[in-house]
Amino acid sequence: MAKTGTVHRLPPKASSLDPITILNALRSAVVAVDRSGVVRFVNSAAEQLFATGAPYLLGAKLASLLPPDSPILSLVSLTQERGQNVCEHGVVVDTPKTGRRILSVNVAMVAEMPDHVVLNLTEQSIAARMSALLPSRNAARSAAAMAAMMAHEVKNPLSGIRGAAQLLDSGLDGEEKILTQLIIDETDRIVSLVDRMEVFSVDHPMPMEPLNIHTVLDHVVRVAENGFARSVRIRKDYDPSLPPVQGDRNLLIQVFLNLIKNAAEAVQPETGEIVIATAYLHGMRLTSPTARESRNLPLAVSIQDNGMGVSADMLPHLFDAFVTTKPTGSGLGLALAAKIVDDHCGIIECESQPRRTLFRVLFPMMVDAGDDR
Ligand SMILES: Nc1ncnc2c1ncn2[C@@H]1O[C@H](COP(=O)(O)OP(=O)(O)O)[C@@H](O)[C@H]1O
Ligand SMILES: [Mg+2]
């Protein structure tokens, strides 16, 4: 049998399905450039993206096809300098030929030709990643506004009501005292409820310290296994080389406790399984389409369960406060998690389908641990 070189494919049958045909079938643009930034290969989607035919693109400088300050050019240099694949979402490309587009950009080294890199440019409906990011941040903000409002508009009048009831109480006896006591007890109950909300509004300086996220997760798993998740199988899939996360231990315990509790509540008791995984995502950058800020968020913790999943209509509101599908749920767990993760300069996102729901928390690299923001 004839060897096919380094291309892995089945021996061709009558029709010849060569790699070029396959690349041309892709909806995402594939562009290969050499060390000096000259375009050496384009697929059909790349011709469409740049609204230019292959004969004109091949041999052109990539820099001549993009604005001079395009982040794509710096991603290519980054890949060439470091020999490391890079992936960035939310990259805006705006040229007369392409129009304004928001792309996910992957730049990969070509192992066999070290001077070349391959770009994979995928049109990103603003939905994709940023939608997972922004609602959680908005939710955190709206919960913070709500908490601030509660503190002023509810708590202050309540202390007045409580004080008045106490005054009345001192001049009363017998059955009427039961009523004033009822007012006092109920106002106390509402105050403690508002206090629980207050964590959303307080922008207290957090005592951040370098944390081994695995010891945080182990603690949460111990709590879960001895309580609410007793009948659920919990599997750990840790990347032992994960660098420390800069954070507040108690707040992060709260985040992962909430996520694991939700997972445990979503699965069937007998077949339920929760997988807690950590990973270092090389070149995981996120660019917000509104700000020109770009963040490196390589430290990933995911909590996956095999429960019934989140319905599509629920997904956009998941991180909003008071959104719950449970008869006795508070709807505060995920809103609080989003707020805490936001305070850690991270993001939280959710992907869900029946039997596979995944909540992923991404944290930035600690600044003095070699951050390249
Ligand atoms: N792992 C999960 N699987 C399915 N649905 C989930 C999961 N996590 C959260 N949800 C949905 O998100 C809602 C909000 O969660 P949360 O904010 O923790 O509040 P609560 O747990 O009090 O309902 C839940 O009511 C549930 O519908
Ligand atoms: Mg919950």
Query: Residue 136: nearest ligand to its CA?
Result: 1
For residue 91, the enclosing domain spans: 19-124
Least confident of 137-141, 290-294, 338-342: 290-294
Radius of gyration for the alpha carbons in the chain, expressed in angstroms and rounded: 27
In this predicted structure, the answer to whether residue 9 has a pLDDT above a threshold of 60 is: no
Q: What is the mean pLDDT of the chain?
A: 83
Query: Residue 334: nearest ligand to its CA?
Result: 1
217 and 362 fall within a common domain: yes
DSSP 14: S
Task: Report CA(232)–ligand 1 centroid distance (Å).
Answer: 17
97 and 229 fall within a common domain: no
223 and 345 fall within a common domain: yes
Give me the mean pLDDT over the 65-89 stretch. 87
Query: 266 in ligand 1 pocket by Cβ < 6 Å?
Result: yes
Query: 272 in ligand 1 pocket by Cβ < 6 Å?
Result: no
* Domain boundary residue, one of 92, 124, 156: 124
DSSP assignment of 67-120 equals: -TT-HHHHHHHHHHHHT--EEEEEEEEEETTTEEEEEEEEEEE-TT-TT-EEEE
Task: Report CA(366)–ligand 2 centroid distance (Å).
Answer: 29
120 and 213 fall within a common domain: no
Q: Which neighbouring-strand residues pair with 123?
A: 103
In this predicted structure, what is the pLDDT of residue 5? 42
Query: Residue 323: nearest ligand to its CA?
Result: 1
The CATH number covering residue 361 comes to 3.30.565.10
* Domain boundary residue, one of 59, 91, 124: 124
Nearest CA to ligand 1 atom 7: 262
CA dist 230 and 125 (Å) reads: 41
Give me the mean pLDDT over the 36-50 stretch. 94
Q: 3-state class of 32 per DSSP?
A: strand
Query: 323 in ligand 1 pocket by Cβ < 6 Å?
Result: yes
pLDDT in tens, 102-154: 788 899 998 888 889 999 998 765 435 444 455 555 666 666 667 766 766 77
Query: Which of the pair, 140 or 344, is modelled with greater confidence?
Result: 344
* Domain boundary residue, one of 85, 107, 124: 124
85 and 216 fall within a common domain: no
User: Position of tokens 């307080």?
Assistant: 202
Nearest CA to ligand 1 atom 5: 310
Q: Give domain status of residue 201, yes or no.
A: no
Using the atom order of ligand 1, give the atom closest to the CA of residue 303. Answer: 1
The CATH number covering residue 107 comes to 3.30.450.20
Task: Report CA(266)–ligand 2 centroid distance (Å).
Answer: 10
Query: Residue 266: nearest ligand to its CA?
Result: 1
Give me the mean pLDDT over the 141-168 stretch. 77
Q: Give domain status of residue 155, yes or no.
A: no
Least confident of 4-13, 42-51, 86-95, 133-142: 4-13
Q: Give domain status of residue 259, yes or no.
A: yes
Q: Which amino acid is at 191?
A: V
119 and 251 fall within a common domain: no
Query: 32 in ligand 1 pocket by Cβ < 6 Å?
Result: no
The model carries a pTM of: 0.60
pLDDT in tens, 211-238: 999 999 999 999 999 889 999 999 999 9
Using the atom order of ligand 1, give the atom closest to the CA of residue 334. Answer: 17
Q: Give domain status of residue 317, yes or no.
A: yes
- pLDDT above 70 covers a percentage of the chain that reads 80
How would you class 183 by CB atoms within 10 Å of its CB: exposed for 0-12, middle for 13-18, buried for 19 or more? middle
Answer yes or no: are the C-beta atoms of 33 and 119 closer than 8 Å: yes
pLDDT in tens, 173-215: 888 888 898 899 888 888 877 776 766 665 556 678 999 999 9
In this predicted structure, what is the pLDDT of residue 368? 58
Q: Is the dihedral of CA 252, 254, 260, 262 positive or negative?
A: negative
CA distances from 319 to 149, 163, 261, 361 (A): 19, 37, 15, 13
Q: Give domain status of residue 137, yes or no.
A: no
In this predicted structure, what is the pLDDT of residue 285? 66
Say what the alpha-carbon torsion angle 320, 323, 326, 332 is, to the nearest 10 degrees. 50
CA dist 46 and 43 (Å) reads: 5
Confidence of residue 284 (pLDDT cuts 50, 70, 90): low
Q: In what order do the strands lie in the sheet with 233-237?
A: 233-237, 273-280, 299-305, 356-363, 347-353
Total of domains in the chain: 2
116 and 213 fall within a common domain: no
Q: Give domain status of residue 133, yes or no.
A: no
Nearest CA to ligand 1 atom 19: 331
